[in-house]
Amino acid sequence: MKNQFYTLKVIRPNVSTEWFDLNENTKVKSWYTWKYPTDDYGHEISDVTFYDIFKALDNYKCVYATLDVDDSIIRERVFQALADIMKVDYDYIYEQWLKVKY
């Protein structure tokens, strides 16, 4: 997996003056709770960055254990954000995740 991170500014829906600097050093929990404030499970995400998620996938580690959350919707949203950061298709991230040995 090639390390290709970029900065992406995400506009929060209905709040045009706010933005979130989404990049490899962004804390997943901070981004997630900002982007999905009504998802209470977001507060349970561990203190990891998107780079930590990238490294977990690159080393075939369990993403659920890395996030400390066992929720597929959170995983999918995090994978989409990681794909945006890396400027790759979601399927690229998803295929890497499928290679994890449990």
- Collapsing DSSP to helix, strand or coil, 32 comes out as helix
Interval 64-88: pLDDT, tens: 999 999 999 999 999 999 999 999 9
37 in a structural domain: yes
Q: Looking at residues 9-26, what average pLDDT do you find?
A: 63
CA dihedral 75, 80, 84, 85 (to 10 degrees): 0
88 in a structural domain: yes
Q: Looking at residues 87-98, what average pLDDT do you find?
A: 95
- Give me the number of domains the chain comprises: 1
**Over 70: is that where the pLDDT of 19 sits?**
no
pLDDT of residue 16: 35
56 in a structural domain: yes
Q: What is the spatial distance between Cα 64 and Cα 82, in angstroms, rounded to a whole number? A: 15
**Over 60: is that where the pLDDT of 40 sits?**
yes
**Burial (Cβ within 10 Å: 0-12, 13-18, ≥19) of residue 10:** middle
Range of the domain at 63: 8-98
Averaged pLDDT of the chain: 86
**Over 60: is that where the pLDDT of 32 sits?**
yes
Longest dimension (CA), the chain: 43
3 in a structural domain: no
Q: Looking at residues 6-31, what average pLDDT do you find?
A: 67
2 in a structural domain: no
